[in-house]
Amino acid sequence: MTNYIGLIIVILLLILQNRYYLSLCKYLAQQHPNEWQKLTQNSLDGTAHANLAESFKNGFFATIDDSKVTRFQTFKRINLLIIAAISAASLATAFLF
């Protein structure tokens, strides 16, 4: 059972990140409906999630100064760092023991 603790933590962190992402999408759709509509029209099969990551890098949402967007990006970086550390520790433990 102790072998699966890292996996369980990683899965919980990914679920938490996904829920935070979906709530951010709802917030952005409410705050910036015109830009959100442009994302839905230009993306695959009418979903805005395909182009949102690119918009965070160099699109409209990269230019806005919104605390929720910056908190999400910081959370995502820290979350991925924690997941990478847990994965590296798990791999090191597996190969060493």
Q: What is the pLDDT along the chain (97 residues), one digit of tens a residue?
A: 667 888 899 999 999 999 999 999 999 989 988 888 887 776 556 566 667 877 888 888 888 888 999 999 999 999 999 999 999 998 888 888 7
Where do the structural domains in the chain lie, given as residue ranges? Answer: 2-96
DSSP string, 1-68: -GGGHHHHHHHHHHHHHHHHHHHHHHHHHHH-HHHHHHHHHHSGGG-THHHHHHHHHHSHHHHS--HH
d(CA 84, CA 13): 11
Tokens of 66: 């919104």
Query: Do the Cβ atoms of 18 and 25 come closer than 8 Å?
Result: no
